[in-house]
Amino acid sequence: DEKVQKAVNRVQPEALIRQVYGWLREAGFSSINIDLMVGLPHQTVESFSLTLDKMLALGPDRLAVFNYAHVPWMKKHQKLIIESDLPDLPTKLALQKLMMERLADAGYVYIGMDHFAKADDEIVTAQQSKTLYRNFQGYTTHKDCDIYAFGVSAISQTAEVYVQNAKNLAEYQRRIASGGLATERGLRISRDDMIRREAISGIMCDLELDKAKFGRQWCIDFDTFFADALGDLKDLAADGLIALEPGIIRVTETGRIFLRNIAMPFDAYLRQQTAELKPRYSKTL
């Protein structure tokens, strides 16, 4: 939609997208992902339906359909976007419904967290066999692999460490030219972080948590360790987003749309925020 693209200054002609997609198929790429965004300025159910028509005609193996995150307090350039041009909540919900129905009808399996894949894709097989994993970049079938990132602002990840390269191009080039690393900052996570990351991964990838199995894996009593989350989990169950079965926390079909919300009770850092602080995160929908 050219009007939408111009509103966010990301003009990508349809002909160019088709050309690049064709080049990739000709080069022998067996799996191609296309990213789409919903919730952009001037976007409507009708206009997004046309976008889906065109993308489905290409036949990508995977689709990631992200909600636009409007966080002008973090991304200063977003102040140029007129907020009244953004879809209201009913429209965003209608867009979500349209996307789920159209992609399901086209044979795509909903993995979760905005990601869809054809039924024979390895990411679907991994979810079914409970070997799917999610790192900060998204879903992957390579759980035990480190991520080594190159380039400005790139983020690397190992089991215990996250590091980010310099965000400024000149500074990045200076660090490389001096023979050092481009790393600008890093974070070594604690055991508490690891446990919570694994719980969140279980929700987002396996769509369930076996409390006894999880407790044995980490040598903890699940309910004691996550005592601060139990009340929120009961509320989520009352809303029909999860089922609290004996020893199992299971995501419902409705809950698959709200995986971010279901994961939030396990995030200790969200709980540390106070009402006086400026909002730090985007809305989940």
- pLDDT tens figures, 17-32: 999 999 999 999 988 9
pLDDT, average across residues 244-253: 94
pLDDT, average across residues 56-78: 88
Spatial distance between the Cα atoms of 65 and 52, rounded to a whole number of angstroms: 10
Predicted local distance difference test score (pLDDT) of residue 266: 95
- Whether the predicted pLDDT of 149 surpasses 80: yes
pLDDT, average across residues 246-266: 93
Other beta carbons less than 10 A from residue 271's beta carbon: 12
Spatial distance between the Cα atoms of 278 and 225, rounded to a whole number of angstroms: 29
Average pLDDT, the chain: 90
- pLDDT tens figures, 97-136: 899 899 999 999 999 888 999 999 999 999 999 999 988 7
pLDDT, average across residues 76-92: 87
Q: Regarding the domain delimited by 2-129, which CATH topology (the fold level of the hierarchy) does it fall under?
A: Transcription Regulator spoIIAA (3.30.750)
Question: The tokens of 265 are what?
Answer: 């009770």
- Cross-strand partners of 250: 208, 243
Q: How confident is the model at residue 284 (pLDDT cuts 50, 70, 90)?
A: low
Q: How confident is the model at residue 76 (pLDDT cuts 50, 70, 90)?
A: confident
From the options 3.40.50.720, 1.10.10.10, 1.10.10.920, 1.10.260.40, give the CATH code of 191-268: 1.10.10.920
Q: Same CATH fold, 191-268 and 2-129?
A: no
Q: Is residue 55 packed enough to be buried (19+ CB in 10 Å), middle (13-18) or exposed (0-12)?
A: buried
Q: How confident is the model at residue 279 (pLDDT cuts 50, 70, 90)?
A: low
pLDDT, average across residues 142-163: 91
- pLDDT tens figures, 212-231: 999 999 999 999 999 999 99
Q: What sign has the CA pseudo-torsion 8, 14, 19, 22? A: positive
Domain ranges for the chain? 2-129, 140-188, 191-268
In this prediction the pTM is 0.80
Question: The tokens of 169 are what?
Answer: 């191009």
